[in-house]
Structure 1
Amino acid sequence: MSTSARRSGRRRFTLIAQLVAVVLAVAAAVTVIAEGPGGHPAAERLAADEMDVPALSATPLPPSVVPAPSASAPVSSSPAQSPSPVLRMPGAVPSAGAGRFSYDDRGGPVLGRAGEVRRYRVAVEVGSGEDAAAFGEAVRVALAGPGSWVDSGRLRLQQVPAGASRDFTVYLATAGTARRMCADGGVDIRVGGRAYTSCRAPGQVIINLDRWRLSVPHFVRARVPLQTYRTYVVNHEVGHQLGHRHERCPGSGRPAPVMMQQTLFLNGCTPNPWPYVGGRRYAGPPL
């Protein structure tokens, strides 16, 4: 082979070698771009699994997977809490009033489904700071039930205006006036020398303003709502007007009969404002 032929062969070999080197370099660059910096897709997936990172998908997730926040649902920084029950009313309670009464002059619906209708008026002492219409509504709720005396099916009750014919009147009176009215009816409501309880005199259901506003200490300690005590005292004193006498606790842990003197004691029973429980007359042993 001539010298010129050998030189031409070496140039072709060098050119081919350079071309191969360029091809290998490009292939390596493509591999790095496709696999990422580590060059090991499987190793990267394993690391993601160990960190509990969800694998990405090329398919879009349906909109229901990530719910959008509702514009109608406000965001709260603290959980909702029920308001605490009112156990007693704040402020001083008048111990004496004018001795005169204002009346709730509205007529009311007949409460109960059957039986004799007994009609009553509602009155609040002037100077007591209480509203006759509000007291009348509270009395109506207590006597309507469910659980009140009308659940017997043999009695109905109805509020009437001041001048109408009636069977009895429900009075809300200051302690001083309640003491005089009860004493006139032969009942002493004093405890420890002061007018404390409510009473029934002939044709009169007399609710002591102190109890109406303050409940009683053992109810307050037990966090029994004032509304429960008010319902009890109305049904208790109206129960006397209807001819029912005092009863005793039927057993520790059981509901107190409404005719038990819950204003004074519970004797192991639990507070109960209703004469009917579960649709049946609930009573205790006679006192």
Structure 2
Amino acid sequence: MPVSAYPPRAPARPVPVRDRRPAGRRWQPVIVVFAFLLAAGIAIFATVQRPSATAGMLTGDEPAEQPPVSSSALPASSASASASPAPNASPSAPVLSLPGPVPAQGRGSFAYDERPGEVLGRAGVLRRFRVAVENGSGEDVDTFGDAVQRALAGPGSWVDSGELRLQRVAPNSRYDFTIYLATRDTAGQLCLGGGVDIRIGGVPYTSCRVPGKVVVNLDRWRTSVPHLVAAKLPLDTYRLYVVNHEVGHQLGHGHERCPGPGKPAPVMQQQTLFLDGCRPNPWPYVDGRRYAGPSV
């Protein structure tokens, strides 16, 4: 086959067919697609940016109501801190009695509050006392020392007479008496050793004072007594009473009776055993005056 002397021609380009439609009709599909995309974008943007009802409440004046949290979902420390200390207490009700078993016996030895306290009272003879808690009782000596301090500071305590001052001292300091918190068996032994039998039904039940010793029974300190729990007396108020009652014995005061139905009970009435129609009262001074009942 003969070879051509001329190079092959490049294939011819196709000639574009010119769109004969008017310009406005040619842009219609583009406008429709653009409008669709714009509408979709606005809808997505609105969905992302619109705050929820909960968010509006959290940032507004009124706080959002939070769903309750189960105590089992809390850390152990948080759950125990928020738990009610007594089965008869609600978040707004006072503690009347502490739950759980109370040790009947301790080690028979005592830890002492080593912190000297301020002098309580404005004038009069100064009586110094120590504070001790039996080892093995499960109670903290500083916490008990603070409770004793509140009871004896008043207002309403024995120092309101203006003729007496009281001061907690360190264990190695000179002192006039000691206030003990002891398990029931140890309390029974301390009281019986001073000639006072605090047993009821064969079990050491009340607290006592013997020379130089104010003995608070741990059973009563933790659980109060049934008739005062039934009367809705807060445990803290009973504790004020038992300290002031037994210290009153140490200061030379004897038992007193209820002065009349509906009246406050004298602090030297045996409120741990009965009220006899009186209302519970932890203070020897009421409205700035010594409050007493008939002597037993």
Please state which band the TM-score falls in when normalised by the shorter chain: 0.7 to 0.9
Distance 1:157 1:282 in 2: 20
**TM score, norm. by length of structure 2:** 0.71
1:71 Cα deviation (Å)? 5.8
Is 1:104 the counterpart of 2:117? The answer is no
Is 1:260 the counterpart of 2:269? The answer is yes
Look up the match of 2:166: 157
What is the DSSP-based 3-state SS (H/G/I as helix, E as strand, rest coil) of the residue aligned with 2:146?
Answer: helix
Distance 2:271 2:179 in 1: 19
Distance 1:127 1:283 in 2: 37
Match runs of 1:155-194 below 5 Å: 155-194=164-203
Contiguous gaps of at least 5 residues in structure 1: 1-69
1:181 Cα deviation (Å)? 0.4
Which of the residues 118, 130, 140 maps onto 2:139?
130
1:82 Cα deviation (Å)? 6.1
Look up the match of 2:248: 239
Is 1:249 the counterpart of 2:255? The answer is no
**Off by >2 Å, runs of 4+ in structure 1:** 70-77
Look up the match of 2:225: 216
Residues 88-141 of structure 1 show CA distances to partners (whole Å, capped at 9, x for unaligned) of 111100000000000010000000111111000000000000000000000000
1:75 Cα deviation (Å)? 6.2
Look up the match of 1:196: 205
**TM score, norm. by length of structure 1:** 0.73
1:192 Cα deviation (Å)? 1.5
Which of the residues 122, 143, 153 maps onto 1:144?
153
Look up the match of 2:237: 228
Distance 1:250 1:206 in 2: 27
Residues 1:73 and 1:162: Cα distance change in structure 2 (over 3 Å): farther
Residues 166-202 of structure 1 show CA distances to partners (whole Å, capped at 9, x for unaligned) of 0000000000000000000000001111100000010
Match runs of 1:47-66 below 5 Å: none
1:73 Cα deviation (Å)? 6.3
- Aligned positions, number: 218
